Every structure is written in C-alpha cells, then in structure tokens.
Amino acid sequence: MKLRSLMITAATAVLAAGVAKAEPVKLTVWSDTARIEPFKAFDAAHDNIELEIVTVAPPDQTAKLQLAMRSGDDVPDAIFMAELQQIAQLSTRRSNYLMDISDKIDQSVVDSFLPNALSPCQSGDGRLLCLRNDLAHFIAWYNKPKFDELGLSVPTTWEEFEEIGKLAAENGLIVGSGTQPTPVLNMLIAGGCEPGFLVEGSDDTIRVDFTSEGCIAAAAMVDRMRENGSLSPHGPFEPSFVTDVQEGKLLMFNGPTWFGEHVMRPLYKMDAGILAASESLKWKGQAQPQAWSWGGGVFGGYRDTEHPDEVVELIRWMTTDTGLQGRATTMPAHAESSSVWRDRVANDPWYAQNDVYDKMETSAQYGHPSYGGYRFDIMAAFSKIDGASNASIVDKLPDYAAEIENSAKVAGYKIAN
C-alpha cells in the first residue's frame, strides 16, 4: 500500500514537473522604435510566447532581410513594415518572405477592419499577406478661427477648395503644398490619375494612365493654385513652410490622419483651439471621394517559420487588441480598436472641435482600394521628374507616366496596354 502510494505521488510529481517546465515558444521580431513597447505588451500578455525584439531602421529592413534569407541565418519570425513597398518587395520569387495568412485568419477578423484598410495587404491574386496597424488616408485639415473670421464654409469638393485657395492667396494665406509629391499625388489620384495600379488578378502587371479627363483637370487645378500662390512652392517639412504656418498663414492642408497630432502640433507648434478637420474632398461629378494615403504600417510573418500559429497570433493581437490599439498614437485600422481610440481624439482640447475622429472614420471608407506598396518607389519617380523640370504639372503628366513605367519595368512589372 505504501509502495503504491509512493508510485502515485512520484507519477504526479513527474506530470506536474512536465507541465511546470513547459518552455515558451521563442519568436524573433524585427521592429522600428515606435513598435518596441507594443511588442513588449504582447510579450507580457502571452506566457506561452517569448519575444526577442530586434530594432531595425525601416529603410534598412528589406535589404537586411533579403541578406538574412540568402544566408539562412537570423531570419525573423515576424516583422513590422513601416514602408508598404516592403509587402511587394518581400513576396517575390527571389525574396519570398511573407506568409500567406488567407486561411489562417478567420474571416470575422478580416471583416473587423475598417473599409479598405487591408487593401495593401491583399495581393493581386487574392492572398492576404499581412494585417494593417494604422490608417493614414487624406482628410481636409483647416484653421477654424480663420475660416470663421473670413466667413467661409468648409469645402466638400475640390472645386470649392480651389475657390477658397484664391481667397486665401488674396489674404496672404496658403492652403497646402504644391511641391510635396504625396499631397500632389493625392489630388491627381482624386481626379482619376492612375500612377501604377495593379491590374485585377495580377501581381506583376500594372496600369499607368495620366490621360483621363479627370486626371488632366486635377493637374490643371494644381497648376493654377501654384501659380496664384495658394499652394506653397515649399514642402510641408521645409523651414520656410514651417515658418509660414507658425506665422498663421496656413488656412487649409489636405493631409493624412496623423498630420494633426504628429506634424501640426509638434512641428508647427499650432496653438490649441485652431485645428479642425473635415472629410476627404471629391470632385463635383463624383459619387464619393477617392482618397490616397500617406503611411500606415503592417505586420507580417515568415512563411517558413517553425511556429506559424504563434506568429499568426502575434500579428492578429498586435493589430486587433483594443487595449493596445485603443492607446495608439495613430488611427487604428481595426474598427473596434479605432472606436476605443476615438475618445483620445474627441476629448483632446487641443483640437478646435470634438468631431475630428468622426471625420477620420467617415473618410476611411473613401480610402483608395489600390493604395499599397510596389517593388519600386512611385514617389521617387515623381520627385525625379519634378527635380528635372519647372514645367507645369499638366505638361509633366507624360513624363510622370514614362518614368513610372521605366521604374516598374526595372522592378519586373509588365505594363498593361
């Protein structure tokens, strides 16, 4: 009897020891500096997973990852991609890093993101390669006290925006930048320009079209506004532009959702009670706006990781946990998390009105479905043409098309006729 008791006790002890000694799965993740604390939060919330967090600067990440994959050493299990072109660069036959999570993420999770939020993560052939961290679609920021002083109504169309620009120029004010590539590209795409959109069903064929009537009309508007001075000849991060804003000369700025919190407050040092927001602008003939974006990072996993379930849990939790994303510094792509995050913006007395988030949320549905990353830098192509010529935007449209097509072909894309 005593022997049997000892055997049972020993067996129980062995079983308990086995449970107690279960080692957590170890994952290596590559992060930018802004994602270190969120990764640590995941680590703290998951006893079964232990993270090794390696900080890699976003511009260096793709090259370092490609090198690691060639050598077979130190390939991370998951990464945060701050630059969306990495999605395309890391899902090629040569650099086939990203895991296809189409059958690993429940459809209910996919549906829980805001409209078009996951467009950059969806390949042309229907695979889901990542989950989106934050949104960065363009909305209309404006100086409410100056609008009130001038008796202006907030524009809803680009035509009204141009008219306000004329009045702004007459009063020594500006309504944005006419040289920074991304805001200008937003205006062109809103009119119908296609600076290299993937053809449906394909990952390697893009369409470039700057010849449509709407595209030319948008370019002509930018030219007129540059000529009358309502669009500044300086970029929004140049000292002269910053000085203009600090001297109270900025009436409006079409910019991404993060521009208020991360540019106008810290860089422009705009006082409380000035900045308000409105929805993305549309052209009169359009049913709804078409808004480009400027940023918005994503999380992806390694297709050959030894721990796919844990990697999927990581990228799902990082993008959908309301406790984490509700405290984010930029607008979450996940709808429920974004609703929690809303209070952070709505209750901030720095904004002139408490409906800033509402304008962001409404405009999320206008995010362009073709927004995403490509294996080449469209912005660099724009900048190259702008730097080589002082011609009007309308006159440069064929040059933009040619430069983008050349860059695309070098990157291995086919050009649709």
The full DSSP string for 270-319 is PPTT-EEEEPPPB-TT-SS--B-BS---EEEEBTT-S-HHHHHHHHHHHH
* pLDDT confidence band for 22 (50 / 70 / 90): confident
Same domain, 118 and 221: no
- Burial of 269 by CB count in 10 Å (0-12 exposed, 13-18 middle, 19+ buried)? exposed
Q: Taking 50 as the threshold, does the pLDDT of residue 14 lie above it?
A: no
Each residue's pLDDT tens digit, 44-98: 999 999 999 999 999 999 999 999 999 888 999 999 999 999 999 999 888 899 9
Mean pLDDT value across residues 253-272: 97
Same domain, 131 and 142: no
Mean pLDDT value across residues 354-361: 97
Mean pLDDT of the chain: 93
Q: What percent of the chain has pLDDT over 70?
A: 95
Same domain, 31 and 114: yes
Q: What distance in Å separates the CA atoms of residue 228 and residue 99, rounded to the nearest whole number?
A: 50
Q: What is the DSSP letter of 22?
A: P
Same domain, 47 and 191: no
Residue 68's pLDDT is what? 93
* pLDDT confidence band for 20 (50 / 70 / 90): low
The edge-to-edge listing of strands for the beta sheet with 49-55 is 49-55, 25-31, 78-81, 298-301, 131-132
Same domain, 278 and 410: yes
Q: Taking 90 as the threshold, does the pLDDT of residue 126 lie above it?
A: no
> Residue 34 corresponds to which tokens in the numbers above?
């802004």
Mean pLDDT value across residues 138-167: 98
Q: What percent of the chain has pLDDT over 90?
A: 83
Residue 172's pLDDT is what? 97
What CATH number should be reported for the domain holding residue 264?
Answer: 3.40.190.10
DSSP-derived 3-state class of residue 333: coil
Same domain, 287 and 146: yes
Q: What's the Cα-to-Cα distance from 38 to each of 96, 156, 284, 314, 317, rounded to whole Å?
A: 26, 37, 42, 11, 10
Same domain, 63 and 131: yes
Answer whether residue 246 is part of any domain: yes
Each residue's pLDDT tens digit, 200-220: 888 899 999 999 999 999 999
Same domain, 305 and 285: no
Angle (deg, nearest 10), helices 181-191 and 213-227: 140
Answer whether residue 112 is part of any domain: yes
Same domain, 194 and 232: yes
Each residue's pLDDT tens digit, 173-201: 999 999 989 999 999 999 999 999 999 88
Answer whether residue 98 is part of any domain: yes
Mean pLDDT value across residues 106-114: 97
Residue 21's pLDDT is what? 55
Q: Strands 252-256, 194-198: parallel, antiparallel or unpaired by DSSP?
A: unpaired
User: Among 176, 115, 129, 138, which residue's Cα sits nearest to residue 295?
Assistant: 138
Contact 209, 146 (CB under 8 A): no
> Whole-model pTM?
0.92
Mean pLDDT value across residues 23-51: 96
Residue 332's pLDDT is what? 98
DSSP-derived 3-state class of residue 98: strand
Same domain, 166 and 287: yes
Answer whether residue 18 is part of any domain: no
Please give the residue that has the higher pLDDT: either 5 or 34. Answer: 34
Residue entry with tokens 């020891």: 17
Q: What distance in Å separates the CA atoms of residue 322 and residue 337, rounded to the nearest whole number?
A: 4
Mean pLDDT value across residues 93-122: 95
Answer whether residue 187 is part of any domain: yes
Residue entry with tokens 């930048």: 177
Residue 15's pLDDT is what? 46
Q: Where are the beta strands (DSSP E) in 153-203?
A: 194-198
Same domain, 220 and 334: no
Same domain, 333 and 266: no
Q: Taking 70 as the threshold, does the pLDDT of residue 17 lie above it?
A: no
Residue 113 sits in which domain range?
Answer: 25-135+295-341
Looking at the structure of the chain, the number of domains it has is: 2
Residues facing residue 228 across a β-bridge: none
Answer whether residue 283 is part of any domain: yes
Answer whether residue 248 is part of any domain: yes
> Residue 181 corresponds to which tokens in the numbers above?
């590539």
* pLDDT confidence band for 8 (50 / 70 / 90): very low
Residue 417's pLDDT is what? 72
Q: Letter for the amino acid at 145?
A: P
Mean pLDDT value across residues 279-303: 96
Mean pLDDT value across residues 362-369: 96
Q: Taking 80 as the threshold, does the pLDDT of residue 11 lie above it?
A: no
Q: What distance in Å separates the CA atoms of residue 298 and residue 120, rounded to the nearest whole number?
A: 9
DSSP-derived 3-state class of residue 331: coil
Answer whether residue 192 is part of any domain: yes
